[in-house]
Amino acid sequence: MEKPRLYDRYIRLIGIPLIGFLMPFAMHPDDFLEFGLVFRNSVFLSFTSTLLLWEGDRQLFLESRRRFPLFSQTRQRLIWQTITVVLYTLVVSVSVNYWICGKLLNFHEGTDLLSDFRINLIPTIIVTLCYESVYFFQSWKENVQKAEKLARVSLESQLAVLKSQLDPHFLFNSLNTLASMIDDNEPASAYLEQLADVYRYVLVNREKNLVSLEEEMQFLDAYIYLNKTRFRENLQIEKQLVSTAMGRRIAPLSLQLLVENAIKHNVVSKENPLIIKILEEGPDYLVIANNVQAKTILRSNGRDESTRIGLQNLRERYRLLTNQSIEITSDAVQFRVRIPLIAA
Amino acid sequence: MKASLIRCVLIEDEVLAAGRLHRMLLQADAHVEVVAELGSVAQARRWFANALPVDLIFADVQLADGLCFDIFESHPSPTPIVLTTSYDEYALRAFKHERLGYLLKPIKRSELQAIMRDFRATRFDSSTHSYGQRIRSFLARLFQFGKDQKGEVMS
3-state secondary structure of B99: coil
Q: Which of A180, A192, A204 sits opposite B17 (nearest CB)?
A: A180
Is A204 close to B90, i.e. CB distance below 8 A?
A: yes
Least confident of A102-116, A182-196, A249-263: A102-116
B34/B27 Cα distance (integer angstroms)? 12
Instruction: Please give the order of strands across the beta sheet that includes A334-340.
Output: A235-240, A274-281, A285-291, A334-340, A327-330
The distance of Cα A272 from the centroid of its chain, to the nearest Å, equals 50
- Which helix or strand (DSSP H or E) is residue A286 part of? strand A285-291
Strand partners, A289: A277, A336
Q: Which residue has the higher pLDDT, B86 or A275?
A: A275
pLDDT for A190: 93
Answer yes or no: are the C-beta atoms of A303 and A264 closer than 8 Å: yes
pLDDT at B43: 95
Instruction: Mark out the alpha helices in A68-112 (DSSP H runs).
Output: 74-95
- Which among B20, B62, B88 has CB closest to A179? B20
Say if the Cβ atoms of B105 and A176 lie within 8 Å. yes
Whether A193 shows a pLDDT value over 60: the answer reads yes
Give A115's pLDDT tier (boundaries 50, 70, 90): confident
**Averaged over A144-157, what is the pLDDT?**
80
- Residues with Cβ within 8 Å of B151's Cβ and at least 6 positions away in sequence, in order, are none
- Of B94 and B18, the one with more pLDDT: B18
- In angstroms, what CA-CA distances link A190 with A121, A203, A226, A334, B116? 89, 20, 10, 33, 20
How much is the mean pLDDT over chain A?
85
Average pLDDT score over residue span A190-203: 92
CB contacts of B19 in chain A (<8 Å) are 180
Residue type, A138: Q
Bridge partner residues of A236 (DSSP): A275
The number of C-beta contacts closer than 8 angstroms across A and B is: 51
Per-residue confidence band for B134, with pLDDT thresholds at 50, 70 and 90: low
Q: In the prediction, which pLDDT does A83 show?
A: 93
Higher pLDDT pick, A125 / B122: A125
Phi-psi region of A111 (alpha: psi -120 to 50; beta: other; left: phi over 0): beta
By C-alpha distance, which of A89, A64, A90, A91 is closest to A78?
A: A64
Q: Are strands B81-85 and B102-104 parallel, antiparallel or unpaired?
A: parallel
> Which of chain B's residues have a Cβ under 8 Å away from the Cβ of A178?
106
Residue % of chain B over a pLDDT of 70: 69
Q: Are A307 and A265 in contact (CB under 8 A)?
A: yes
- The CA distance from A210 to A199, in Å, is 18
Hey, of B12, B20, B25, which one would you mutate to test binding to chain A, going by the most A CBs within 10 A of its CB?
Answer: B20
Nearest CA to A222 out of A259, A250, A251, A249 is that of A259
Q: For the segment A25-69, what is each residue's pLDDT rounded down to a tens digit?
A: 777 776 666 666 777 777 888 888 888 888 898 899 889 988 988
φ, ψ dihedrals at B2, nearest 5°: -75, 130
Picking from A173, A183, A193, the nearest residue to B86 by CB comes out as A173
Chain B residue at shortest CA distance from A201: B87
Contact list in B for residue A200 (CB cut-off 8 A) is 87, 104
| Higher per-residue confidence, A316 vs B26 | B26
Give the pLDDT of residue B129.
Answer: 42
Residues of A with CB under 8 A from a CB of B: 168-169, 171-173, 175-181, 183, 192-193, 196, 200, 203-204
Highest mean pLDDT (candidates A329-333, B33-37, B52-56): B33-37
- pTM assigned to the model: 0.60
Substitution target in A180, A197, A199 with the highest count of B β-carbons within 10 Å is A180
Mutate to test the interface with A, among B88, B105, B113 (most CBs of A within 10 A): B105
Contact criterion met (CB < 8 Å) for B87 and A169: yes
Query: For residue A325, what are the CA distances in angstroms to A14, A25, A250, A331?
Result: 82, 90, 12, 20
Q: Residue B94: its pLDDT value, please?
A: 46
Please tell me the distance in Å from A242's CA to the nearest CA on chain B.
Answer: 26
> Are B66 and B123 in contact, with CB atoms under 8 Å apart?
no
The region that residue A89 occupies, defined by phi over 0 for left and psi between -120 and 50 for alpha, beta otherwise, is: alpha
